[in-house]
C-alpha cells in the first residue's frame, strides 16, 4: 500500500469532477486515492425521468458515484449520510436531515474518523465560494477545513483513533476569469437559465489565488468517461452542456488549486504538484 494518499471531500456525487484528473494522475504515481461524499444528491435535478424518481434519486446517484469512482480508480469511497440541502433559498435547506442543518461538531467528527483511518497526505475540497454558492459546497468547505486541523489534535475526537497530520489542504474551483468568459457567452446567447442570474464576480476562484494548475489533458478521455457515469445529471440542455466545444475542452483539461494550509512549506510558482515536498 502506498504511503502517500490523496483524499477529495465533496458534497454530492459528481462534485469530484473538479479534481478527477488529479485523482487519475496521482494514481498512476502509485498514490492511493479516496473520496468522501457528504450527501447522495437527493434533491438534484433528474435529466431523464426514465433514470430515477425523486423518491429513489439518492440511491441512483450513489450507484452513479460508485461507477464514476471505479472509472478513475478510486477504491476508497465514503458517504456521510446527510441529505442534500438543495440550492440556496429552497425548502430543502430546512430539512433537519440536510447537511445545511447538521451540527458542525457532528460533520467534523465523521471527517476526522475518515482522515485518521485513511491517513491522507493531501486533501482537496471546495473553496469558500463552493464554485457557485451551493449551501452544501460551502458547508463542506468549512467542515473539511476544520477537520484538517482537528484530525491532527489528539485532544479532539479521541474516540476516532490516533491523531494524523495531513501535509496539505487544497481548495479547488474554476478560475474567476473563466467564469467571466462563461457569463459573457451566456449574455451573448441571451441564456435565461439559473446561471445567468449569478454574478460572475462572485463565482470561482480569483486567479491570483491559484497555486497549482494541473494539466490533465492526458487523462481527459477517462475523466470524461467518469463524468458520464452521472447520467441523471447529464442534461443536454443545461448551461454548461451548451457551451461551445472549445469551452468544454478548456474547462476540463486543466484543474486549479489553491494551497489553503500546509505543514511542509509553500508551493513554488510553476511547480504545479499537489505532492511537492510531501
pLDDT of residue 241 exceeding 80: no
pLDDT of residue 143 exceeding 80: yes
Q: What pLDDT digit, counting tens, does each position of 47-76 carry?
A: 999 999 999 999 999 999 999 999 999 999
Indicate the pLDDT class of residue 172, thresholds 50, 70 and 90.
Answer: very high
Annotated domain spans of the chain: 5-174+208-241+254-262
Question: DSSP states of the chain as a string?
Answer: --S-EEEEEESSTTGGGGTHHHHHHHHTTT-EEEEEEEE--TTS--S-TTT--TTTHHHHHHHHHHHHHHHTT--EEEEEEEBP--STTSGGGG-TTBGGGS-HHHHHHHHHHHHHHH--SEEEEE-TTTTT--HHHHHHHHHHHHHHHHTT-TTS-GGG-S----SEEEEEE-BHHHHHHHHHHHHHTT--SGGGGS-GGGSSB-GGG--EEEE-GGGHHHHHHHHTT-GGG--TTSTTTTS-HHHHHHHHHEEEEEEEEESS-PPPTT---TTTT-
Question: How large a percentage of the chain has pLDDT more than 70?
Answer: 94
Say what the pLDDT of residue 188 is: 74
Indicate the pLDDT class of residue 207, thresholds 50, 70 and 90.
Answer: very high
> Mean pLDDT in the chain?
92
> Is the pLDDT higher at 204 or at 101?
101
Beta bridge partners of 124: 8, 170
Pick the CATH number of 5-174+208-241+254-262 from 3.40.50.10320, 1.10.3720.10, 3.90.1660.10, 3.40.190.10: 3.40.50.10320
Say what the pLDDT of residue 191 is: 64
Say what the pLDDT of residue 116 is: 98
Q: What pLDDT digit, counting tens, does each position of 9-54 carry?
A: 999 999 999 999 999 999 999 999 999 999 999 999 999 999 999 9
Question: DSSP states of 86-154 as a string?
Answer: -STTSGGGG-TTBGGGS-HHHHHHHHHHHHHHH--SEEEEE-TTTTT--HHHHHHHHHHHHHHHHTT-T
Averaged pLDDT for residues 127-149: 93
Amino acid at each position: 500500500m502506498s504511503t502517500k494518499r490523496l483524499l477529495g471531500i465533496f458534497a454530492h456525487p459528481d462534485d469530484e469532477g473538479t479534481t478527477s484528473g488529479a485523482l487519475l494522475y496521482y494514481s498512476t504515481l502509485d498514490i492511493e486515492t479516496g473520496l468522501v461524499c457528504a450527501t447522495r444528491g437527493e434533491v438534484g435535478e433528474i435529466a431523464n425521468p426514465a433514470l430515477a424518481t425523486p423518491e429513489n434519486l439518492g440511491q441512483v446517484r450513489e450507484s452513479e458515484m460508485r461507477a464514476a469512482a471505479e472509472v478513475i480508480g478510486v477504491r476508497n469511497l465514503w458517504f456521510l449520510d446527510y441529505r442534500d440541502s438543495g440550492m440556496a433559498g429552497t425548502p430543502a435547506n430546512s430539512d433537519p436531515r440536510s447537511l445545511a442543518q447538521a451540527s458542525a461538531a457532528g460533520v467534523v467528527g465523521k471527517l476526522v474518523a475518515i482522515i485518521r483511518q485513511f491517513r491522507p497526505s493531501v486533501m482537496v475540497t471546495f473553496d469558500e465560494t463552493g464554485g457557485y454558492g451551493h449551501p452544501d459546497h460551502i458547508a463542506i468547505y468549512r467542515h473539511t477545513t476544520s477537520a484538517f486541523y482537528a484530525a491532527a489534535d489528539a485532544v479532539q475526537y479521541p474516540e476516532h483513533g490516533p491523531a494524523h497530520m495531513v501535509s496539505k489542504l487544497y481548495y479547488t474551483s474554476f478560475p474567476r476569469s473563466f467564469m467571466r468568459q462563461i457569463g459573457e457567452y451566456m449574455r451573448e446567447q441571451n441564456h435565461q437559465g439559473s446561471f445567468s442570474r449569478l454574478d460572475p464576480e462572485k463565482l470561482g476562484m480569483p486567479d491570483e489565488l491559484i497555486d497549482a494548475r494541473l494539466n490533465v489533458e492526458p487523462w481527459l478521455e477517462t475523466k470524461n468517461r467518469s463524468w458520464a457515469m452521472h447520467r441523471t445529471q447529464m442534461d443536454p440542455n443545461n448551461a454548461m452542456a451548451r457551451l461551445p466545444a472549445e469551452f468544454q475542452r478548456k474547462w476540463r483539461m486543466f484543474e486549479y488549486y489553491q494551497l489553503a494550509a500546509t505543514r511542509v512549506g509553500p508551493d513554488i510558482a510553476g511547480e504545479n504538484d499537489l505532492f511537492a515536498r510531501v
